């Protein structure tokens, strides 16, 4: 019986290949791309278990086992770096993520098409500005005489200082700049999902006397819930991948206590201090934890919300 099933599967696969061989040939460049640029470099993860020396190469460097991981876990900065990474990510998850949904809901309520498109275009523009330019603006605005600093001095009576030299302000600066840059672009997928929600449901609810807020809560949000859950799972899987480039451009030794995250720690130890084995071990740890978070969030979503991406 098992032999017959295998023959049927083999025959069906062969038939499918003959019917769609053009599509299979189109897949070859994509498969080669991932093999060359994503899977082949994974051999370099061996460096995480070595005292890697470029002059000796991967195969010639001394094997140290888990020493690099132990050095990271027992290092004086481990809990600070982990705390900063999770804090910055969770702030984006609990504040930035819902704001994208709210912004999409507000856009859907705009009835004047020209005004709606203008608001959308303006909100999308910051996303396409270079991170270097964004970082330069933040540095200028948060300097001792910057516009943001001057405003906070007048409104909140804080001491006049460069805000990027005070570790207490970095999380707020990073969060606000992330929201400003990514709010409009991050709402695109929700705006598209809202357009697929049946207008007849809204008309029926309006006839029954439901307000806009109630229609949004009971019709629009449930209608886009699969999209929200999918984006939330992806966001949870990226909790350990904080925006490395902007933080690298903004931070300095005076705010390492709140600005240094795993990705910047890897860059500093690997590129600046030439501790290649150690930095590879930290990066591997970060990737493994991120993958586990993705699978855990997907499992919890499928169990409690009947939605999953796998």
Q: Identify the pLDDT of residue 8.
A: 47
How far is residue 171's CA from residue 260's CA, in Å, rounded to a whole number? 11
Q: Which fold has domain 69-304?
A: MetI-like fold (1.10.3720)
Least confident of 140-149, 186-195, 281-290, 295-304: 295-304
**pLDDT per residue over 232-278, tens digit each?**
888 888 888 887 788 888 888 888 888 888 888 888 888 878 888 88
Q: Identify the pLDDT of residue 269.
A: 86
**pLDDT per residue over 23-57, tens digit each?**
888 888 999 999 998 888 888 888 888 888 888 88
220 CB-side CA count, 13 A: 24
* Closest by CA position to 97, among listed 192, 188, 179: 179
How far is residue 239's CA from residue 297's CA, in Å, rounded to a whole number? 11
Rg (CA), the chain: 25
Q: Identify the pLDDT of residue 226.
A: 85
| Integer angstrom CA distances of residue 254 from 144, 170, 263, 281 | 15, 11, 18, 26
């Amino acid at each position: 019986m098992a032999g017959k099933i295998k023959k049927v599967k083999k025959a069906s696969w062969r038939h499918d290949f003959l019917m769609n061989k053009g599509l299979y040939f189109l897949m070859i460049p994509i498969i080669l791309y991932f093999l060359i640029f994503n899977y082949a470099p994974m051999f370099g993860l061996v460096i995480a278990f070595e005292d890697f020396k470029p002059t000796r190469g991967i195969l010639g460097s001394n094997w140290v086992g888990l020493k690099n991981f132990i050095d990271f876990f027992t290092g004086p900065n481990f809990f600070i770096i982990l705390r900063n990474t999770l804090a910055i990510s969770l702030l984006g998850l609990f504040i930035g993520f819902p704001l994208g949904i709210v912004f999409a809901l507000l856009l859907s309520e705009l009835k004047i098409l020209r005004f709606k498109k203008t608001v959308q275009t303006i909100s999308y523009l910051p996303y396409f500005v270079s991170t270097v330019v964004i970082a330069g603006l933040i540095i200028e605005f948060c300097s001792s005489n910057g516009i943001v600093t001057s405003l906070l001095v007048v409104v909140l009576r804080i001491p006049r200082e460069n805000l990027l030299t005070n570790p207490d302000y970095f999380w707020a600066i990073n969060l606000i700049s992330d929201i400003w840059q990514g709010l409009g672009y991050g709402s695109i997928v929700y705006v598209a999902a809202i357009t697929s929600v049946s207008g007849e449901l809204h008309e029926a609810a309006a006839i029954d006397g439901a307000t806009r807020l109630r229609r949004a809560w009971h019709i629009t949000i449930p209608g886009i819930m699969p999209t929200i859950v999918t984006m939330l799972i992806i966001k949870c899987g990226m909790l350990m991948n904080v925006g490395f480039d902007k933080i690298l451009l903004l931070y300095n030794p005076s705010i390492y206590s709140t600005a240094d995250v795993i990705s910047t720690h890897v860059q500093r130890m690997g590129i600046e201090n030439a501790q290649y084995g150690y930095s590879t071990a930290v990066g591997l740890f970060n990737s493994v934890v991120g993958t586990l978070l993705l699978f855990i969030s997907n499992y919890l979503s499928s169990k409690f919300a009947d939605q999953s991406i796998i």
